[in-house]
Homo-oligomer: A and B are copies of this chain.
Amino acid sequence: MTTRFDVLTVGNAIVDIISRCEDQFLADNAITKAAMNLIDAERAELLYCRMGPAIEASGGSAGNTAAGVASFGGRAAYFGKVADDQLGRIFTHDIRAQGVHYETAPKGTFPPTARSMIFVTPDGERSMNTYLGACVELGPDDVEPDVVADAKVTYFEGYLWDPPRAKEAIVECCRIAHANGRETSMTLSDSFCVGRYRSEFLDLMRSGTVDIVFANREETLSLYETDDFDRALTLLAADCKLAAVTMSEDGAVILKGSERIPVAATTIRELVDTTGAGDLFAAGFLYGYTQGLELELCGKLGCLAAGIVIQQIGPRPLGSLKDAGKKAGLI
């Protein structure tokens, strides 16, 4: 199967604004810890006023995944909407400089490019506060049919159910992908996001619109509204062709039919910032998967990439994942 792209990802195009804070700050500002909190322009202004000195880095869950695939040496493409402003140019630069195909047209200057204020607590956990800005403009017109048709896997974020018309773009992407014999994939994104769109996500899986599902433990439990993780895994395995569930320091488990393949987490020196962990797991997994590697090795590449990104500030590894994969003897 020769294609132009290994992985196409679709998501909210976001620049991260990252700062450290104490846990008390989250409580004082009613920020749900470890979650993605959606905020409007007014609250964005307020939180930014209260935020300490920060650094900026291109982010967005699926954008991070595309960058990760490319860093492994995979051929990646991305759809996502920025505005024609300085943050939009930064986002565009960074993803293209990583070698990712990115041609979604920016849309005017208002609303501005999305930003997520990420507060990293001393335990390394990140709590995100996302103003969607220009992301609300993403719609079916932004689908590049030839790119979808020529990508082995089209992957998208559950977060895309938050803006109004992105889901239409996704349904169209999945239709084109399957019409061309490709596979589709999604991440459940966030346990609260699952809470908002549970029935729609289950429908995407059960209708066969989505083939491969990425989730973490909390998202899986939320999807099936249970505290029984083992049962949730069984249900998830029945609802999609392939799933990979991450479990922080316990690594991940890959589900295919009745098969469960455990994957150990990589050893880390210091947990600095969990931002991007799930996104980079998906990057490593999908890179391996689209190279035709065995599922366990795909999982190991996912854990490797996740382990690297949580030892730095920011959502995308600054070094080459290809080099890291080679050094670890995985590729």
> A residues touching B (Cβ–Cβ < 8 Å)?
17, 19-20, 48, 51-58, 67, 85-87, 90, 93-95, 97-98, 112, 313-314, 316, 318-319
User: How many Å lie between the Cα of A277 and that of B290 in the bound state?
Assistant: 44
Given contacts A97-B51, A318-B20, A319-B20, contact A90 B56 (CB under 8 A): yes
Could you jot down 18 A-B contacts, CB within 8 Å?
Answer: A17-B90, A19-B97, A48-B93, A52-B98, A53-B58, A53-B93, A53-B95, A53-B97, A53-B318, A54-B94, A54-B97, A55-B56, A55-B57, A55-B318, A56-B90, A85-B86, A86-B112, A313-B318
Return the contact of A67 from the options B17, B53, B58, B93 (Cβ within 8 A): B53
Q: Among the interface residues A17, A54, A86, A95, which one has the most CB atoms of the partner chain B within 10 A?
A: A86
Measured CA separation A163–B87 after assembly (Å) = 26
A85 to B90, CA, bound (A): 14
Bound complex: CA A97 to CA B55 (Å)? 12
Q: How many whole Å from A276's CB to the nearest CB in chain B?
A: 13
> Chain B contacts of A58 at CB under 8 A?
53
Closest 7 CB pairs of A and B: A56-B56, A86-B86, A53-B94, A55-B57, A53-B97, A53-B98, A52-B97
Q: How far is the CB of A141 from chain B (nearest CB, A)?
A: 26
- How many angstroms between the C-alpha atoms of A144 and B308 in the bound complex? 47
B55 touches A93 (CB 8 A): no
CB distance from A114 to the nearest CB of B (A): 12
A58 to B314 Cα, complex, angstroms = 15
- With the chains together, A70 CA to B85 CA distance in Å? 31
- Min CB–CB distance A2 → chain B (angstroms): 28
Q: How far is the CB of A313 from chain B (nearest CB, A)?
A: 7
A53-B93, A55-B318 provided; 10 other pairs, C-beta below 8 A? A19-B97, A48-B93, A51-B93, A53-B95, A53-B97, A53-B316, A54-B90, A54-B93, A56-B56, A85-B86
Contact residues in B for A90 (Cβ distance below 8 Å):
17, 54, 56
Please tell me if the beta carbons of B314 and A55 are within 8 angstroms of each other in the complex.
yes
Closest beta carbon of chain B to A67's beta carbon, Å: 7
Q: Which residues of B contact A94 (CB under 8 A)?
A: 53-54
Identity of the chain B residue whose Cβ is nearest the Cβ of A98 in the assembled complex: B53
Which B residues are CB-close (under 8 A) to A98?
52-53
Nearest-CB residue, chain B, relative to A51: B97
* Docked complex Cα distance between A57 and B314 (Å): 12
- CB-CB < 8 A to A48: which residues of B? 93
- Interface hub of A48, A90, A98 (most chain B Cβ within 10 A): A90
